[in-house]
Amino acid sequence: MQIGSYQAFAVPTGLFALDGGAMFGTVPKVIWNKSNPADEKNRIDLEARCLLLVSAKHKILVDVGCGESLVEKYGEKFAAKFIDMYKLDRTKNSMEASLKRLGFTYEDITHVILTHLHFDHAGGATIFRDGNLMPTFPKAKYFVQKRNLATARNPNVREKASYFKENFIPLEEAKCLEVLDGDIENLLPDISVFNTFGHTEAQQLVRVGPAAAPLLIYGGDIVPTSSHVRLPFVMGYDLQPLVIIEEKKKFLTSLAQSKGIVFFEHDPFMDGARVQQDGADFTVSEKINF
Ligand SMILES: [Zn+2]
């Protein structure tokens, strides 16, 4: 799909699962279970879907999924527990396989924008290669927000299980991590980042096109699935539910006006959507598959 001056591709990196109750916060199970049926452990399927933006000069990835080399990163025992608990399944899709299908390799990627360093977004940033943990994309410059890096280094008790130093320390050691401080207009041609604070400290969302008329916004963990387009659908994981609702309202309003696309990182059924205002709330007006 053409988005401005970029060819845009969805890059699914594999399914995982999280507790349905945690994904939908105060929304009752009788409602969310219809669209996202829970398994025997009450988990719902989620995709770890990244966005690839390609121009003549750039091949830009937004987020990188849960990644591989779990045994080398976390140890055999914890890796097994991790795979079981989160139902990690890369049999259908992985970063490597999805890029290959599109005709690209790890070496082709020029930039990686990490929305935040939770493992399901940044786990794929590093890989075990030649006996060491190192950047997965050897030629890429990686971007992260300063305040998110700080919280990842020293996580609060609620987020401790989501931030692992193995996913970002090797980037710092390889000197390929560029730390951003705040919103940046045109970080890359036609691509801007803006900070949000409802989900975690300084999650940067990515916008293609101007603020007044966005073509696409990467919803990250502010609008992880199509169900979360609805304003009260807020995850139990989020640090500041009321803040997230305001953040969501602001960028969904601009997308509804510009008929731009919100990209869903975690929706198991669709890559993105156009949205419309529905009274004081929002709904999906058109499903988009790239
Ligand atoms: Zn997150």
Confidence of residue 269 (pLDDT cuts 50, 70, 90): very high
* pLDDT class of 272 with cuts at 50, 70, 90: very high
Question: How close is the Cα of 203 to the center of ligand 1, in Å?
Answer: 8
**Is the pTM above the cut of 0.95?**
yes
Instruction: Report pLDDT for 234.
Output: 96
Ligand 1 centroid, distance to 18 Cα (angstroms): 12
* pLDDT recorded at residue 100: 98
Alpha carbon of 204 to ligand 1 centroid (Å) = 11
DSSP-based three-state secondary structure for 145: strand
Q: What pLDDT digit, counting tens, does each position of 118-135 carry?
A: 999 999 999 999 999 999
Compute the chain's Rg from CA coordinates. Answer: 18
Distance 116 CA to ligand 1 centre (A): 7
CA of 289 to the centre of ligand 1 (A): 23
Centroid of ligand 1 to alpha carbon of 56 (angstroms): 31
Residue 47 CB contacts under 8 Å (≥ 6 apart), including other chains: 12, 13, 14, 15, 93, 265, 266, 267, 268
Residues in contact with 254: Cβ distance below 8 Å, sequence separation at least 6, in sequence order: 211, 212, 213, 214, 217, 260
Residue 72 tokens, joined: 């080398």
Query: How many percent of the chain have pLDDT more than 70?
Result: 100
Would you place residue 178 in the very low, low, confident or very high pLDDT band (cuts 50, 70, 90)? very high
How much is the pLDDT for 246? 97
The one-character DSSP state at 140 is P
Band (173; pLDDT cuts 50, 70, 90): very high
The mean pLDDT value of the chain amounts to 97
Tell me the β-bridge partners of 10: 51
Q: Give tens-digit pLDDT for 199-236.
A: 999 999 999 999 999 999 999 999 999 999 999 999 99
Give 267 Cα–ligand 1 centroid separation in angstroms. Answer: 14
Check if the beta carbon of residue 263 is closer than 8 Å to that of residue 271: yes
Q: 201: CA distance to ligand 1 center in Å?
A: 10
Burial of 272 (0-12, 13-18, 19+ CB in 10 A): buried
Q: What is the pLDDT of residues 40-84, one digit of tens each?
A: 999 999 999 999 999 999 999 999 999 999 999 999 999 999 999
Question: How far is it, in rounded angstroms, from Cα 33 to Cα 225?
Answer: 14
Measure 187 CA to ligand 1 centroid, in angstroms: 22
The pLDDT value given to residue 134: 98
- Give the residue from 112, 39, 101, 61 showing the smallest Cα distance to 268: 39
**Measured in angstroms, how far is the CA atom of residue 46 from the centroid of ligand 1?**
13
Say how many Å lie between the CA of residue 221 and the centre of ligand 1.
5
Percent of the chain with pLDDT over 90: 99
